[in-house]
A and B are shown apart, each in its own frame.
Chain A
Amino acid sequence: MGDNGKPSVGIFGLTGCAGCQLNILNIEDHLLDILNLVDITTWVMAKQENSEGPWDVAFVEGSVAKKSEIERVKKIREKSGVLVAIGACATHGGLPGLRNFRDISEMTQIVYGENNDHIDAIPIKPVSAYVDVDYELPGCPMEKTEFLEIVKSLVMGKRPYSAQYSVCGECKALENICLLKEGKFCMGPVTQAGCNALCPSNGAVCEGCRGPAPEANWAAEVKILKKIGATPEDVRRKFLKYCPSVAEMPEFKELEF
């Protein structure tokens, strides 16, 4: 607890585009309500003076992409009561994880040139690869509504609500035309709901940024995508684009593309 009796909160960024932190700032209608409930003692993006902890709740954005970030995230974990990973980078590796599918020293050289000794890049992993994570808010970026839900829930000491189904459930309830039926490679059937089918509702396929839905039937999704013309490489890329950590899952390794 902070001095004012409110839970203390730290918001941190690892490797990513910082869009999830920005998305918290974008909750303009409710920022003051949030500050009524919690005391944000550390948030380098938004504050001039920041505490060194401890925190009741830490929100961690970004993937672990450098050796130094392993130590950093471990320290945050040690000093925090609850740790929440926010956004696809923190929960599943995110877009930076595309790097994992190329040679890391070659990539370092392409980006930073010959003098790259100061770059301590390691294969991209989500926060949960190194420390215990209490809650994950997936998505690229994280949903504002889910952030509000978890803040409320933590303050009230209840478990936050999260949908236990895939994007299709939300998409159909919105009466969208099924993009798979139009031959577009949509990940809706196997992707965790909670975004209110934002992309398909606007005519763009689900890219799977929110990670696998509970008990996602990947084999069936592979079959669907191939039936409408996806190549094995198309399918693999779809699955790993936003969620490279999926590549480590036994269910993924068993898949036949």
Chain B
Amino acid sequence: MCPSYVMNQGDITKLIESARDSFDIFGPVKKRTKHVFDKIDDPAQIEMDYDSTILSPRKFFQPPSEVMMTFDLEEKSVDDTLENLRAERPRLLLAVHSCDLNGILLLDKVFGGEYVDHYYNIRRDKTTIVGLNCLEPCEYGFCRSMNTHHVVEGYDLFLTPIDGDRYFVQVGTAKGEHLIHMAENLFTLAETGDVQSFKNALKHKQEALPHEVDLEGINEYLDLSFSHPVWDEIAEDCVNCGACAMVCPTCYCYDVVDELDISLTSADRTRKWDACLFQDFALVAGGHNFRETPAARLKYRFYHKMRGFANEYGIIGCTGCGRCTAACPSDISIKEVLKRLSTIWEVPVSGVK
């Protein structure tokens, strides 16, 4: 068991300075009124006290668009681009909240499970993650309800703000330990008083984060409301734009497209983020669409997150980060939908829909 440390909150910029020779460093920075995870060139850019980011850290491990293979039609050769990925500089990802650490753990199950996705895993292996505890609720999140407000793994270091000006630092892995050694003078071993401050912080968090959605019975109430008109009602507001899927920390669907260069001598195989809200998501050769209507697509998005993902991976696929609600042009709130569904306990309409 590694010891825990404390560091001054202001020293995060010094940590960035110490680490920049070894890593490309990313963290939350301001983008007009919002925050985004972006490359930190100037340590002063980092904003540790942020609510949420527009896109989740998923973008670091499965970018919105990436070339998976290149084809040279004259040489008749194929390159899977993995060597380029392996040659990239290691990355340090700073200030990742608990909900997002849990999101990354869910993606690990998808991309590191039965079918190992090398593109994802190379990036994952090359990334060191410093987590950051949230002691106050954010605008749209409901992590407490989804039990993602705390983490037991998924971080290399984990920071909890204590005493207003310091972080209590937990070490999760050897990578985290390595980071400590990189800037040893910034860290001191935690003492009894620090541990008490840490406990106080956690107690404060326990009181501050609301528990809003009852997950008990979620399987039952989802099963019972599968044919309920509630889905058509929600679909009236849904524009099927897919913004919710783009910002989601656990959405992982992608489309693969082969693009031939205009010279017709080379080609790229590119994968791009896809969304189950898109019309052609479940369209197959021959023209059949398994999810023909927008209402059906919206419903299946919910059922996959809340029900199907759990069937496959043993855990609900929503981290309660609230990004989908923040992003929805129609202000559809996943939290409110869940609350509403939990009140519908009816005998399902007969027949298959």
Residues in A lying within 8 Å of B, measured CB to CB: 30, 33-34, 36-37, 148, 151-152, 155-156, 161, 164-169, 171-178, 180-182, 188-190, 213-217, 219-221, 223-224
Contacts and interface: CB of A to CB of B under 8 A. Distances in A.
29 contacts: A34-B262, A36-B263, A37-B264, A148-B262, A161-B259, A164-B280, A165-B275, A165-B278, A168-B239, A168-B241, A168-B243, A168-B329, A172-B241, A172-B242, A172-B327, A173-B55, A173-B64, A173-B65, A175-B31, A175-B59, A177-B31, A177-B34, A178-B243, A181-B329, A182-B33, A188-B329, A221-B239, A223-B330, A224-B330
Given A178-B243, A220-B236, 20 more contacts: A30-B262, A33-B263, A34-B262, A152-B262, A161-B257, A161-B259, A166-B239, A166-B241, A168-B241, A169-B243, A169-B275, A172-B243, A172-B246, A172-B327, A173-B55, A188-B329, A190-B239, A213-B240, A216-B239, A220-B238
Contacts of A213: 240
A93 B279 CA distance: 25
B241 A169 contact: yes
B260 A156 contact: yes
A223 B237 CA distance: 8
A217 B262 contact: no
Contacts of B242: 165-166, 168-169, 172
B32 interface: yes
A216 B294 CA distance: 9
B160 to A, nearest CB: 28
A215 B247 contact: no
B273 interface: yes
Q: State the majority secondary structure of interface residues on B.
A: loop
A195 to B, nearest CB: 15
Interface of B: 31-34, 36, 54-55, 59, 64-65, 236-243, 246-247, 257, 259-260, 262-264, 272-273, 275, 277-280, 294, 327, 329-330
A216 B279 CA distance: 10
B118 to A, nearest CB: 22
A173 B59 CA distance: 9
Contact of B327 (A164, A178, A223): A178
B251 to A, nearest CB: 11
A176 B32 CA distance: 10
Contact of A175 (B55, B275, B279, B280): B55
Contacts of B64: 173-174
A177 B330 CA distance: 15
A233 to B, nearest CB: 21
B247 A172 contact: yes
A168 to B, nearest CB: 3
A34 B54 CA distance: 39
A165 B259 CA distance: 19
B240 to A, nearest CB: 6
Given A152-B264, A172-B246, A173-B64, A166 B55 contact: no
Contact of B239 (A36, A148, A171, A217): A217
A131 B20 CA distance: 62
A151 B329 CA distance: 35
Contacts of B36: 175
Contacts of A173: 55, 64-65, 246, 272-273
A188 B260 contact: no
Ranked nearest first, the 10 interchain pairs of A and B with the lowest CB-CB distance are A168-B241, A172-B246, A189-B239, A173-B64, A164-B280, A169-B242, A33-B262, A165-B278, A172-B243, A164-B279
A208 B254 CA distance: 26
Contacts of A223: 237, 330
A25 B240 CA distance: 36
Contacts of B263: 33, 36
A174 B275 CA distance: 15
A155 B264 CA distance: 10
Contacts of A221: 239, 329
Nearest to B272: A173
Contacts of A36: 263
Contacts of A219: 236
Given A177-B33, A220-B330, A189 B278 contact: no
A120 to B, nearest CB: 40
Contacts of A175: 31, 36, 54-55, 59
Contacts of B273: 173
Contacts of A155: 264
B257 A189 contact: no
Contacts of B329: 168, 178, 180-181, 188-189, 221, 224
Contacts of B277: 165
Contacts of B65: 173
Q: Which of B33, B54, B240, B279 has most A Cβ within 10 Å?
A: B240
Contacts of A178: 243, 327, 329
B334 to A, nearest CB: 16
Contacts of A220: 236-239, 330
Contacts of A33: 262-263
Given A180-B329, A215-B294, A165 B240 contact: yes
